[in-house]
Amino acid sequence: MRTKRLVLTAIAAIALTGAGGTAIAVNGATRPAAAGTTATAAVEAREAVPARAPARASSADTDGPRVVRPYQPVEIGQGAKMGLLPEGRQNYVVAWDDYAESVEQAKGYVGDSIRPDSLSGGLHTEGDDALYTGAFRTDTVPSRITLRVDGAAEVEAGMLRLPGEPGWGTYYHDAAGDGAPRESVVVTAYGPDGSVLADLTYRPSPAGR
């Protein structure tokens, strides 16, 4: 039996209730639950305080986030589409089915979901497939965002942002076939000079193991 689980971290607790006031719309719409499918949500990590540790190496080949139009659907792997909304703050959707409806629902969300100079993190799993998504809110636009899963080597995430200077954007990483993390996930946003803009570390919930 295949199971799907959703882990959300570093977002306002009100998001888990489905009430108004959150801008992330609980990461938008997820795949409808089939028979025997479970969906769990946990807020286990908190927004990381901007790191002041020595700078880490940066990638000269990274140009920063891809600029997309509001509501533009972007394929991010495993049949999922991500879209960024100008309504609210850090408002985006991740949808497998009926992307347009997911966007319309998310338009009603307002308010900050993450603190300045911080990251949020989300994990969607089904079987051995994992899809990592989240948002950044930083004064400096990150040149790159990486993930380190269970202590393995850093992997580059894709990034999106809206035109102009919205002060935020999203990231995603398709880890199809890698399975769900068992220990920890470390997300790091780097500035153009290689300095660390923000860190986020979270552990999968017990239900996600």
The pLDDT tens digits for 133-157 are 999 999 999 999 999 999 999 999 9
What are the structural domain ranges in the chain?
4-50+64-208
According to the per-residue pLDDT averaged within each range, which of 20-29, 40-49, 184-193 is highest? 184-193
Phi-psi category of 184—alpha, beta or left, where left has phi over 0 and alpha has psi -120 to 50?
beta
pLDDT band at residue 113 under the 50/70/90 scheme: confident
**Alpha helices, H only, 29-167:** 99-106
Residue 26 is given by DSSP the state: G
The predicted-structure confidence for 152-176, as pLDDT tens digits, reads as follows 999 999 999 999 999 999 999 999 9
pTM: 0.74
